[in-house]
Amino acid sequence: MLVKNIMLAKEKLITVSPKITIGQALEIMSENKFLSLPVVEGDKFYGAISKDRIYEFYYEKCEDKQCFLSDFNVEVVMRKDIPTISPVEEMEKAVYFLEIMNISFVAVINDKGYFEGILTHHAVFEQFTLLFGLNKGQRLAVMAYDVPGQISKLSNVLSENNADIISFVVVDPKSVIDVMEIVVRMRTDNFELIEEKVKDLGFKII
pLDDT digits (tens, 9 = 90+) for 1-59: 789 999 999 999 999 999 999 999 999 999 999 999 999 999 999 999 999 988 888 77
Range of weakest confidence among 4-13, 140-149, 157-166: 140-149
> Whole-model pTM?
0.68
Question: Which of the listed CATH numbers 3.40.50.970, 3.10.580.10, 3.40.50.1370, 3.40.630.10 matches domain 3-128?
Answer: 3.10.580.10
Q: What angle do CA 106, 98, 56 make, to 5 degrees?
A: 85
Q: Look at strands 84-85 and 105-109 and give their pairing.
A: parallel
Q: Where are the domains of the chain?
A: 3-128, 133-205
| Per-residue pLDDT reduced to its tens digit, 84-141 | 999 999 888 888 898 888 899 999 999 999 999 999 988 888 877 766 666 678 999 9
Q: Does domain 133-205 have CATH number 1.10.20.10?
A: no
